[in-house]
Amino acid sequence: MEIRYDRTGQPYKGERFFSRGKPAQCPKCESPRMVLILYGLPGPREVAFAKEGLIALGGCMMTGDDAKWECWDCHTCVWPVEWKPQ
């Protein structure tokens, strides 16, 4: 069985959250501070935004299965729900 890791390098424990749009609050700790995860090499502006808690920096590594939002308080990641036609 394939072992999967989240973007903090921790193995998944089968807990994964999905949302259709940006979550209003964290599904785990109910914090309202959900931020967009920005992938790629950050510029000075992105680093400044991240310091203020406006975005999270996801790094350059993309797996094709990446979370889109992250809780600023407990770092729970939320994946976007893919819309599939019936």
| Binding footprint of Zn ion on the chain (CB under 5 A) | 26, 28-29, 31, 71, 73-74, 76
Q: How far is the CB of 25 from Zn ion (least distance, A)?
A: 8
Quickly list DSSP for 7-73.
TTSPBP-S--EEESS--SS-TTT--S-EEEEEES---HHHHHHHHTTSEEEEES---SS---EEETT
3 state SS of 78:
strand
Between residues 55 and 76, which has the closer beta carbon with respect to Zn ion? Answer: 76
Q: How far is the CB of 56 from Zn ion (least distance, A)?
A: 12
Q: How far is the CB of 43 from Zn ion (least distance, A)?
A: 27
Between residues 30 and 40, which has the closer beta carbon with respect to Zn ion? Answer: 30
Between residues 29 and 48, which has the closer beta carbon with respect to Zn ion? Answer: 29
